[in-house]
Amino acid sequence: MARLQRHPQVKVIVFFQDEYRHKLDNLLSRFPIFEAIPFPVPVEPAQVEVALRRALEEPDKPNARDP
């Protein structure tokens, strides 16, 4: 993740398990995360598609979102 900070155009989408939310919170405090999607709760393909489309439409705008 630290290496990705050198490339501000990179958007990181994180899939996380709820029992590791505390680790996600730590990650969110340290790095710009574009989208965080809970997993393996049934991930809706539409949710992933929306995140990917937003990443393509906003390539130069880092955007940390709360899960």
Q: Is residue 40 part of a domain?
A: yes
Check residue 55 and give its pLDDT: 86
Domain count, the chain: 1
Could you tell me if 34 and 62 are in contact, meaning their C-beta atoms sit under 8 angstroms apart? yes
**What tens digit of pLDDT does each residue of 3-43 get?**
877 887 888 889 899 899 999 999 999 888 888 988 876 76
Residue 11 in domain: yes
Instruction: Evaluate whether residue 15 is within a structural domain.
Output: yes
46 lies in some domain: yes
Per-residue confidence band for 47, with pLDDT thresholds at 50, 70 and 90: confident
Q: Give pTM, 2 decimals.
A: 0.64
Distances in whole angstroms, Cα of residue 36 to Cα of each of 43, 56, 65: 11, 16, 7
In a domain, 52, yes or no: yes
Q: Is residue 67 part of a domain?
A: no
Torsion of CA 37, 38, 43, 44, to 10 degrees: -50
